[in-house]
Amino acid sequence: MTSHADMSRPESILWEELVPGGNHWSGLMRRGTALRLTDLQGGANLSALFYNFDERLERYNMADTLKAQHTALLTRGHVLMSDMGRVLASIVADDVGGHDAFCGVSDAALIREKYGERPFGVARNAMYRNGRDGLLIELGKWGLGKRDLVPGVNFFSRVIVGEEGELSFATGHSYPGATVDLRFDMNVLVVLSAAPHPLDPKPEYAPGPVLLTAYRAGLAAADDYCRTFRPENARAFINTERYFAE
Partner 1 sequence: MNMLIESPLDPRDAVLDEICPAGEAWMGTVRKGQTFRIVDLEGNQAVDTLFYNAHDAEERYSATDTIRRQGRLYLTTGSRLISSEGNVMLTITADTCGRHDTLGGACAAESNTVRYALDKRPMHSCRDNFMHALNACGCAHHLGMSKRDITSNINFFMNVPVTPEGRLSFEDGISAPGKYVEMRAEMDVVVLISNCPQLNNPCNAYNPTPIRLLVWDPV
- In angstroms, what CA-CA distances link 198 with 38, 45, 121, 167, 202? 20, 10, 24, 12, 10
The verdict on 147 binding partner 1 (CB under 8 A) reads yes
CA distance 88 to 105: 21
CA distance 67 to 15: 34
Give the binding range for partner 1 (CB under 8 A) out of 22-30, 114-122, 140-148, 179-187: 140-148
The verdict on 219 binding partner 1 (CB under 8 A) reads no
142, 53 contact by CB (below 8 A): no
List the one residue out of 198, 171, 151, 194 whose CA is nearest residue 39. 194
Name the minimum Å distance from CB 86 to partner 1. 8
Element (H, E) at 135: helix 131-140
Interface of this chain with partner 1, residues 2 to 21, rule: CB under 8 A: none
Number of residues that bind partner 1 (CB under 8 A): 46
Interface of this chain with partner 1, residues 161 to 200, rule: CB under 8 A: 161-167, 198-199
Minimum CB distance to partner 1 smaller for 12 or for 115: 115
Which of helix, strand or coil describes residue 67?
Answer: helix
Give the binding range for partner 1 (CB under 8 A) out of 58-66, 88-96, 176-184, 213-221: 58-66
Name the minimum Å distance from CB 214 to partner 1. 27
Name the minimum Å distance from CB 52 to partner 1. 12
List the one residue out of 173, 209, 212 whose CA is nearest residue 190. 212
The verdict on 67 binding partner 1 (CB under 8 A) reads yes
Report the Cα 9 to chain-centroid distance in Å: 24
The verdict on 232 binding partner 1 (CB under 8 A) reads yes
User: Residues interacting with partner 1, by CB under 8 A?
Assistant: 57, 61-64, 66-68, 70-73, 81, 83-86, 98, 102-105, 107, 109, 145-151, 160-167, 198-199, 232, 235-236, 238-239
